Amino acid sequence: CSYNKINHVYACENHESLNVSLKTRMGFKGWVMSDWGATHSTVESVNAGLDQEMPSNTWFNEQALGVALKDGTITQDAIDDKVLRILTAMFTAGLFDRNNTGSLAANVTSDAHNRLARTIAGAAAVLLKNGGVLPLPRTVTKIALIGDNAVKPVVHGIGSGQVAPPYIVTPLQGIALKVPQASIIYVASSDIAGAVRAAQAADVAIMVTGIVSGEGVDRHNLSLPEQDDKVFAAVAAAQKNTVAVVFNPGAVLLPWADATNAIVSMFMPGQEAGNAMADVLFGDTNPSGRLPLTLPNIENEVQFTQAQYPGTPEVLPVNAEYSEKLEIGYRWYHTHGVTPHFCFGHGLSYTSFAYSGLSVTKTTDPENPVLVSFTVTNNGTVAGSEVAQVYLTYPDTAGEPPSQLRGFEKLALAAGASQPVTIAVGARGVSVWDAGTHAWAAQTGTFTVGIGASSCDIRAIAQITL
């Protein structure tokens, strides 16, 4: 449970969210741990459903719990339930089946794990744009490599979840290993004139940028480093064969995108960043990642107000109003008819895919009332993976944002191969939350079902009445 209050009640003391919604309605069998220092009481937190205080025992200590048990403000059953939840999870994870003889300082890296890190980073790469320059030929002889991140890449975020990698393969190292015969000229972000000269003399210019984010270091805006934006714009104007690689912790602005031939977003690629990047750029890995968010055209394109985020007043206590309701991310864009820079679910491939045979049927299964069936065909010349997505628009009477994601499936297809797909839309997928009854309410009427490659790339549409 978090630091903030929910409807004026601390999250770790919120009976409605912990006991009712999480443990009862959702059937959660695990245990609830406080964020570090987010516990503010003993009795209220125990009774609301908090199971473990972290990182200390300021409130959940033997004396405080003993007094509360003695005066009857908490029960032994409540304590037993918390212990049962914690021990059940520990037994499930096998912690009591073997002695812990390890050490926090132990290096558990293996060659197999390193290979897996490389595979995952490459498969997760999102090809945002490709004007034809990718994949690069192995015969390339002159490469201009631009940007500080080419030699000192941002490959992970920071904060309590940070893991220090045993090594980092830089983009410069990855490309040099991939095409050892090529002449690679590296130019730092600060040298715009040198970057332009190197790009003009090269067969291709590869520009690498990135920005860090993490716990306690939120970004002030969605921009990449200003100097990178400047040098990228200059290089893209000087060399038609430009490729931009972005290491991004979330949504970013790409003001030079229109002038750039190809763009690859790798998010936080980890220790094998350089090798995975080279695998994608030279075609050993066919990118199959898809955007899990929307990349906007401008800062605050969704027009959040101060009252919505970060809240008002500007001094504590701050109150944030969720007046946007469900109009966040791609739902805002659909509702307001705005086309983003790059859409939710978007991601290109070195091959192409076709959708056919859409069929939407109503079932008698109350858990999965709708089945969406269709066929995906790889109509290109190389193997690749497509992420087929299903979007649903409710009847107008539901008051929901249009075209909401209701399912997806990743398909690995050889060149020329086809595969039938059936994606079930669950009962929750055709329901809305009724705040009055605190329950999901199934909607009736005519629903529109769309299938496609992103929230903006719908290939076929059908309707069904429930």
Catalytic residues: 35
What is the C-alpha separation between 263 and 19, in angstroms, rounded?
46
What is the C-alpha separation between 205 and 235, in angstroms, rounded?
8
What is the C-alpha separation between 276 and 270, in angstroms, rounded?
9
Burial of 285 by CB count in 10 Å (0-12 exposed, 13-18 middle, 19+ buried)? buried
Q: Enter the tokens of residue 38.
A: 């987010």
Host H or E run for residue 450: strand 446-452
Check: CB of residue 125 under 8 Å from CB of residue 283: no
Check: CB of residue 388 under 8 Å from CB of residue 355: yes
Residues contacting residue 449 through CB under 8 Å, at least 6 positions apart: 358, 360, 370, 372, 390, 391, 392, 393, 425, 461, 462, 463, 464
In 10 A of CB 432, how many CB atoms?
15
- What is the CA 430 to chain-centroid distance, rounded? 24
User: What are the two backbone dihedrals, phi and then psi, of residue 295, each rounded to the nearest 5 degrees?
Assistant: -95, 115
What is the C-alpha separation between 162 and 54, in angstroms, rounded?
18
CA distances from 206 to 18, 22, 209, 264, 401 (A): 49, 47, 10, 11, 39
> Which stretches does DSSP call E strand in 201-251?
204-210, 242-247
